[in-house]
Amino acid sequence: MSSLPLLTILIAVPLIAGALCLFVRDEGARWIALIGTLIAFAISIYLWVAFDPNGAQWQFVEKVPIGGGVSWAMGIDGIALMLIQLTAFLMPICILASWRSIQSRVPEYMAVFMLMETLMLGVFTAQDLFLFYVFFEGGLIPMYLIIGIWGGVERIKASYKFFLYTFLGSVLMLIAMIYMVGTAGTTSIPALMAYDFPVEAQKWLWLAFLASFAVKLPMWPVHTWLPDAHVQAPTAGSVILAGVLLKLGGYGFIRFSLPMFPEASYIFIPFIFALSGIAVVYTSLVALVQRDMKKLIAYSSVAHMAFVTFGLFAMNRQGIEGAMIVMLSHGLVSGALFLVVGVIYDRMHTREIAVYGGLSNNMPGYALLFMLFSMASVGLPGTSGFVGEFLALMGTYQASTWGAIAGTTGIILSACYMLWLYWRICFGEARTAEAAAMPDLSMREWWVLGPIALAVLWMGIYPESFIRPMRNDVGRLMTRLEHVAPAGDSQLKLAGPQLKTIDAQDHGAHH
Amino acid sequence: MHPILFIVFLPLAAALIAGLGGPWIGKTAAKLITTGALFAGALLSWPIFFEYIAGNGQPMVVPVLDWIHSGTMTVDWALRVDSLTAVMLVVVTTVSSLVHLYSWGYMEEDPGQARFFAYLSLFSFAMLMLVTADSLIQMFFGWEGVGLASYLLIGFWYYKPSANAAALKAFVVNRVGDFGFSLGIFGTFLVFGTVSIPAILGAAPGMAGSTIGFAGMRVDTMTLLCLLLFVGAMGKSAQLPLHTWLPDAMEGPTPVSALIHAATMVTAGVFMVCRLSPMFEAAPIAMNVVTWVGAITCIFAATIGCAQNDIKRVIAYSTCSQLGYMFFAAGVGAYGAAMFHLFTHAFFKALLFLGAGSVIHAMHHEQDMRYYGALRKEIPITFWVMVIGTLAITGVGLPGLGFAGFWSKDAIIESAWASGSVAGTMAFWLGVLAALLTSFYSWRLIFLTFYGDARWAASEHIQHALHREHDDPGEEHGDSAHDPRPVPTGTGGYHPHESPLTILVPIALLALGALAAGQLFHNIFVDAERAPEFWRQSIAFSQHLAHAAHEAPLWVKLSPTIVMLIGLWIAWNNYIRRPGAADAFVGYFPGVYRFVANKWYFDELYDVIFVRPALWLGRLFWRGGDEGTIDRFGPHGFAYAVGIGNRIAYRFQSGYLYSYALVMLLGLIGAASWAIWWAQ
């Protein structure tokens, strides 16, 4: 393995680029940001290639003590690696998407975005509890600024709501972390992942972490900040919010809740499944009646994230791997859908579904990509959405048939709201003259959406590239969960002498 | 390289080239490439079929690429070829290539031709993936792929609201079926630990009699799995109560109706049940359900078909009804007969649809049969092929010699009787009754369209044509009005023209199929001695049932022919001998007519129990749940409380709530750093 501190370089590159942005004019800041994010992306690709799926759990490890028992500890496993890919892939796309739509305070905007990338990558690379917390909570600040400064009309209300929710979760998580460090005597995340906390304490710790992760993910009923935040955020802000920030919740579950508190996780499975089941049905129905495109997609995000919690807490291989693919896929697809909304928002400056229509006529390229992403969102096989959802629900079925039934209704409801949206935007006749006059995608917009489209198809047709690096890490997590994994309610019983009678009664009842 | 790779992937390549490159290569190149790909596929498929008929073909799997590997759940892209696949290959590639050719003529004036041909080829690819699937998940890929293509093609004329609504409905209703299919796959994986079809079928008999928990109940394992999978089949094959999308799907261009909504996609459910027949054999209750659903759909759709005025809708309900025959055949265990009817139906139903398209073409996009009449002399070739199609669907034949439907429908009806079960006997009687209705509505279509007086003058489309207003080619109309008033007669000076060769050649070739497909192939599909050699292990062929069907009493064998003649006589009596008789009947029983003409009010019912409540609940959850409860007592309540505090601390407030909150966040992180350090 390379002796270069690659992970530190990875997170330093955007930070330096961001600092440079502050010293140049608008156009210069754009180019610096683009180049900075592309370099970070190149490094992340190198990590992907160099990562040995059959090697040690933690690779590219760095550790420099800072003092007070805290160290600059970095290292990634396959799960973190894939989320780093997602982040580094989406960032240059966000910069391109903001190229013309952001016109005020461009250097500051780019600098904040770069800071955001640093902090997000930091979350996935940190191996020290203290570092993790700083990155995890610090990541909110740039998001908060992006919504608060470059957002829409009601940005103050939205950023306030966003803050309030996440703040409450953070306080509880912080208290839990302090207790953990005090009890286990270490701030090393790998060490904590192997530490067995007493079951009674686990419950409280688990709940405290849930308060933070459930808001981030978000789970029903603490999701109401998300639609407002999305609606007010600029396009690129929404992409990062949906693409990366929401994944912090799922990553938290997989890194903390499950391996550190397995018994508590087991105890709370019914609770999580109930919330997830409600989320799928409830938010899908709410998405159905939205008139604002961004709100519709935001609500659909909540429904999709419920597949993540279903899959993770099914505690079997299909469930966990499925949940990870849902996270990656949703990062791409919902990011792309927000970009798709952004393309027409840039032209018409409204998100009202009712003013569009008939875009297939004047924007055929746009209609094609929108169709692809809609289909990925409804989980059509051959796209990334299918692989994740299907595996996650397959895992859920093994843990709870009720859970799988509730979750699978999502495939009906998602088709309803996405295709109805598509109909109202792209089919029919244009409802306004302005909508009929919009030009098709520009070259820059093709560069923004095209790569995501290819990634969505790649993940749908050959997901092995994405599952392989995570396989052993999911295996390690399952070893940790082995003694608590739910047996499920299926309980197959092969035909035996005593069951024959039950069978006979069944037959009797039917004749 | 095995030819199957070309058969399956050439249409995909053609679809991509025509679809993405359409604007650059031009419509003629796009049409040539897609049509060429499908004809190549058809030329490669027939030799495979004959190889299996000759008994030289072995079941085989051609691997393509790894797909999903998650623990013990492994699925790869792979193409399976065996006798069952070979049958489907010839059906799909033959009908698809002829429909491609037909569309050259039919879609000639349409500006979106490259897109149309790309969708058609994409559909063919997905359908071929479905029939070559070696695992349930690849079958699901094809299943959803054909659903997507169907959605795109129903909504091909995307500026028509009715087309969009029909496309959305088709996709969503199919998704309801997929809900069951998905749960069925999950359950199958849980029980068998694999999604590989041969492995599941091998292990299925051993699971007979086992029980499993599902949603709080304890049920028979195989019954549960088969019923869940069958829900998927009901959606795709438009069986009651998931049939409502199929008639609306007629909003799509007529070639699409012929290919997707008659010959291939809608038969995917039948194919699935046959492919998984060893599973169903282990689940007698599920078999009974399949029989009942098939038999009831068969008669139900036939009644509606009798009261439709739109020529395409008559054929659509007819398709629905014929699919019911295939299902009850499968339900009584006569999988060979089900596949046989699937095979012959593909030819004569595609023929009827394409013939109807030729009529619509001649009548300037008019689809309402009340404005037809006397077309026999004007478009004679179309007339004769439609008659051949009708002779085939109504099952005309003498023992040993007959049209395609004669062989396959009789095989089904005899098998249902021979099965001896309660459900089978019911299916027999319902099937015979439906055969009567089939004969009636099929001849009614012929008589209304080709006989009697010309009633063209009253048609708006014809008026448009006469006044030289150029109609949009997408102006295919459904019959929205069920107005039973008689239409005035007269040609209005309009002269229908016979269709061009690109339209007539495919119809003529399909007519050959409708003539001979039953006669030539009945042995290999259903004969008790010959068929097992052909099917081998690809379906659970019951030699015992085939023997029993062969030895059915004479009255059972004659009953379809007798009712066919009765149906013909009723149609002739009402539409030729005494043309006012049908209207008089409607006058006597207006309630019955309205109920049937309005399709038993299924659409209205679903609107009331599903669509409206879903929207109402969505609004309730949004306004009442999110805004009225969660926000009100959550962040807004908090904000209100903070607001009171703020009034006190007003002087210290910077005015910007967000910067205020930012300071709090930074402070929190600072405190956290200190606390963690302290806890060490």
pLDDT at B653: 46
Residue-wise pLDDT tens digits, B253-288: 999 988 888 889 999 999 999 999 999 999 999 999
Q: Is B217 on the interface with A (CB under 8 A)?
A: no
Inter-chain contact B164–A358, Cβ cutoff 8 Å?
Answer: no
What's A60's DSSP letter?
Answer: E
Give the C-alpha distances (Å, rounded to integers) separating B436 from A84, A216, B310, B518: 66, 63, 20, 20
Report the pLDDT averaged over residues B244-248: 88
CA distance B627 to chain A (A): 8
| Confidence tier at B354 by pLDDT (50, 70, 90) | very high
pLDDT at B236: 92
A317 or B586: whose pLDDT is higher?
A317
List Cβ neighbours of B573 (8 Å cut-off, separation of 6 or more): B581
pLDDT at A507: 44
| Separation CA B200–CA B220 (nearest Å) | 17
In this complex, which of A137, A161, A222 lies closest to B668 when CB atoms are compared?
A137
Measure CA of the first residue to CA of the last residue in chain A; give whole Å: 70
Inter-chain contact B71–A394, Cβ cutoff 8 Å?
Answer: no
Size of interface A-B (CB pairs under 8 A): 261
pLDDT at B647: 53
β-bridge mates for residue A74, sequence order:
A62, A126
pLDDT at B662: 62
pLDDT at B365: 82
Q: Which of B7-11, B207-211, B615-619 has the highest mean pLDDT?
A: B7-11
Quote the mean pLDDT of chain B: 85
Inter-chain contact A141–B662, Cβ cutoff 8 Å?
Answer: yes
Inter-chain contact B141–A390, Cβ cutoff 8 Å?
Answer: no
Inter-chain contact A429–B148, Cβ cutoff 8 Å?
Answer: no
pLDDT at B675: 60
Q: Is A137 on the interface with B (CB under 8 A)?
A: yes
Residue of B nearest to A410 (CA): B179
Beta carbons of B371 and B456 less than 8 angstroms apart: yes
**A503 contacts on B by Cβ (under 8 Å):** 209, 211, 220
Q: Establish if B130 belongs to a structural domain.
A: no
Handedness of CA A215, A219, A224, A229 (dihedral sign): positive
In terms of DSSP bridges, do strands B397-398 and B401-402 run parallel, antiparallel, or are they unpaired? antiparallel
In this complex, which of B190, B617, B638 lies closest to A285 when CB atoms are compared?
B617
Query: Which site among B68, B143, B659 would you substitute to test the A interface, given the most A Cβ atoms closer than 10 Å to its Cβ?
Result: B68
> Per residue, what are the HEC states of B162-221?
HHHHHHHHHHHHHHHHHHHHHHHHHHHHHHHCCCEHHHHHHHHHHHCCCEEEECCEEEEH
List Cβ neighbours of A476 (8 Å cut-off, separation of 6 or more): A57
Q: Establish if B351 belongs to a structural domain.
A: yes
pLDDT at A500: 42
pLDDT at B673: 64
B599 or B559: whose pLDDT is higher?
B559
| Separation CA B376–CA B446 (nearest Å) | 9
Look at B102-106, B395-399, B656-660 and tell me which has the smallest mean pLDDT: B656-660
Question: Rg of chain B over CA atoms, in angstroms?
Answer: 29
Beta carbons of B423 and B332 less than 8 angstroms apart: yes
Beta carbons of A288 and A416 less than 8 angstroms apart: yes
Does the pLDDT at position B478 exceed 50?
no
Query: Which site among B122, B171, B287, B622 would you substitute to test the A interface, given the most A Cβ atoms closer than 10 Å to its Cβ?
Result: B622
Q: Is B140 on the interface with A (CB under 8 A)?
A: yes
Range of the domain at B426: 283-535+553-593
Q: Establish if B105 belongs to a structural domain.
A: no
**A426 contacts on B by Cβ (under 8 Å):** 158
Q: Establish if B87 belongs to a structural domain.
A: no
Query: Which site among B658, B665, B680 would you substitute to test the A interface, given the most A Cβ atoms closer than 10 Å to its Cβ?
Result: B658
Q: Is A232 on the interface with B (CB under 8 A)?
A: no
Report the pLDDT averaged over residues B132-148: 93
pTM greater than 0.95 (yes/no): no
β-bridge mates for residue A128, sequence order:
A188
Q: Establish if B387 belongs to a structural domain.
A: yes
Helix (H), strand (E) at residue B74: strand B73-81
Q: Is B656 on the interface with A (CB under 8 A)?
A: yes
At A188, the amino acid letter reads S
Please tell me whether residue A431 adopts helix, strand or coil conformation: coil
- The pLDDT averaged over each successive group of 10 residues in chain A (511 residues) is 78 91 88 93 93 89 81 90 94 90 86 92 91 87 85 78 79 86 86 88 89 88 87 89 91 92 90 92 90 91 93 92 94 94 88 86 90 93 93 93 92 91 88 84 90 94 92 91 84 64 43 40
With tokens 């028992």, the residue in question is A69
Closest CA to A417 of A406, A429, A425, A407: A425
Which residue spans within B182-341 are E strands per DSSP? 211-214, 217-220
| Confidence tier at B651 by pLDDT (50, 70, 90) | very low
Inter-chain contact A287–B618, Cβ cutoff 8 Å?
Answer: yes
Inter-chain contact B213–A491, Cβ cutoff 8 Å?
Answer: yes
pLDDT at A158: 79
Inter-chain contact A428–B676, Cβ cutoff 8 Å?
Answer: no
The number of folded domains in chain B is 1
Cβ count near A382 (within 10 Å):
20
B185 or B540: whose pLDDT is higher?
B185
Residue-wise pLDDT tens digits, A450-502: 999 999 999 999 999 999 999 999 999 999 888 888 888 888 888 765 444 44
What's B456's DSSP letter?
Answer: G
